[in-house]
Amino acid sequence: MKIHVGKYAGFCFGVNQAVALVEEAARSGASVCTLGPIIHNRHVVGRFAAMGVQVIGRPEEAAPGQTVVIRAHGVPRQVEEALSAMDVTVVDATCPFVRRIHRLVQAAEAEGRIPVIIGSPDHPEVQGIASWSKSSLVFSSPEELAHWANSPGISSDLPVCLVCQTTFTANLWNFCVEIAKKQFTNLKIFDTICRATDCRQKEAAQMSESCQVMVVVGDPKSSNTSRLAAICRERCSRVTLVEDGSGLDPAFFRGASHVGITAGASTPAWIIKEVNNTMSEINAIETNQEQSFEELLEKSIKTLNTGDKVTGVVTHIGSTEIQVDLGTKQAGYIPCDEVSSDPNVKPEDILKVGDEIEVFVVRVNDQEGTCQLSKKKLDGLKIWDELNTLCQDKTVVEGNITEANKGGLVANMKGVRVFIPASQTGVPKGGDMSALVGQTVRMRITEVNRSRRRVIGSIRAVAAEERRAAAEKIWSEIEEGKKYHGVVKSLMPYGAFVDIGGVDGMVHVSELSWGRIKSPADVVKVGDEIDVFVLSFDRENRKISLGYKTPESNPWLQFLEKYSVGDVVPAKVAKLVSFGAFAEIMPGVDGLIHISQIADTRIEKPGDVLQEGQEVTVKIINVDEENHRISLSIRALRNGESQS
């Protein structure tokens, strides 16, 4: 029996984010509660309960000072408003893709459109979406939508906005879209099905067509898990929905050559792995039952060879060795110094009589009927097996950087030396790699060569993946006016590029300063951390225009607030022209001293009296607020005249 596990089975981005936020809040030491179960999976909820995380049904059940986590499905608008008015810390774990639908529905109502939501009316996600518009309608099927669209009084030019539940079935959504297109001429359609959900459903459909048995793993209360089971049942006659490995019945799989495993978005990886392991055990039992008595007898008395990995049971722990029953004709023993690589560990600290252990065969003595074993050597071999698995599965691991050299970095991971080439460190060419020494980094194992005892890793691969995820989150939440804290990545003559957390936006030179600047370098430099806001964005072409200067920093407004006509102020001559001189009153604000206001006698040109950079005292004689012009006078001070 071959077992096939779906590539898209298990946690989606939104669920993974929600679970991570709860874990982070729980580990911070705060009193944490979730508004409803964080996801539809009792195992995950139970694990959080063991960490002290409560589940509450209403906002008023939260205690003052508590941290309240909004679950991945989101909550109705009025619930968010109630929480914001309470003495609690709110952590919003709403899936970014669900939050986008909230904004779409809200915008539709503002445009005078009727938001039509395709999904289950009783589902928390749909209830939350519907709350963002007083006029929203919810239909659970194409038939319900068609019945409403054809009802008397429903005009074909009715302005409609069509969205759907993120976990809705793609085929049914397509039917709804066709119905809406035929019925309404003033229609906006937003395909809001989560792509991960779509991929998972398509994969489940393909697997169920080629497998004799399908196993769907997840909570029966989960909408997306139930839909997966329904999709599989349309194509496969033997489908079982289980919460974990304990729900598997060996008889259900009898005679099947191919079994598929898929899982809902709320199913953690460890449960999928448990189901897979249980399936493998069932397969092994079925295979063993087919073996003849002679084969089993042969296996029980087989001869061991040096280098074998075998399993035995500890029968005695002595002062110099541990005796192990291997179920073979040889008597197995482990010298005490072969139990652990840690010299401070005593055999009785980690082993007891009756323990089943896996060991490495060091030497076989058929004449004496003994077999020398080692647990220490096998533990060392297992690390390499684990490294191979980590490499094949592209698992993200942590390592401590112990060394930097010309070629790259060296990290220690579970006692194994991992080399990270300079090109894979994530440090720019010519940068200081030694700054990472002593730090714990996230990396991926890219190559394992056991014979040469060489392991290669990459920090850059993980960073790139995390940056892509961060970019998707930004694009799912971006809106005009939204503020970000970013880092200046590069400077160009026309502006500065700023990393706002996975995506680069451009601050045009005209948006860097209210005053005149020659280049962006006059205001910022590479590496600066600055606060910016979104002026506009092009989601299709992935371009963002950012602003840096704010109305509060407008020097003209600061001038009007500080000075008025008649004030005497210090100024610096900035530029001489034929008709007068421009003087800077404050950074970004210049006034004109007309040639007639420079001296009390007639002069040929301003340069006869003034020079650029000269400090002067002037009187403000006129302010044109509409055209941002200021008239100044030196002559008025010398003559004591009253100017206007």
DSSP 177-209: HHHHHHH-SSEEE-----HHHHHHHHHHHHHHH
Cα(139)–Cα(569) distance, rounded to whole angstroms? 70
Kind and range of the H or E run holding 619: strand 615-624
- Total length of the chain: 644
Q: Is the pLDDT of residue 444 over 60?
A: yes
Greatest mean pLDDT range, 205-219, 242-256, 316-330, 350-364: 205-219
143 in catalytic set: no
516 alpha carbon, distance to own chain's centre:
40
pLDDT at 301 over 60: no
| Separation CA 495–CA 442 (nearest Å) | 33
* Confidence at 640, pLDDT banded by 50, 70, 90: low
Using pLDDT thresholds of 50, 70 and 90, give the confidence band for residue 453: confident
Per-residue pLDDT reduced to its tens digit, 405-430: 888 999 988 778 899 999 899 888 87
Catalytic residue among 23, 61, 81, 125: 125
487-540 tens-digit pLDDT: 999 999 899 999 998 889 999 988 888 777 788 998 889 989 998 999 999 888
Output 292-300 pairs: Cβ under 8 A, ≥24 positions apart: 300/327, 300/328
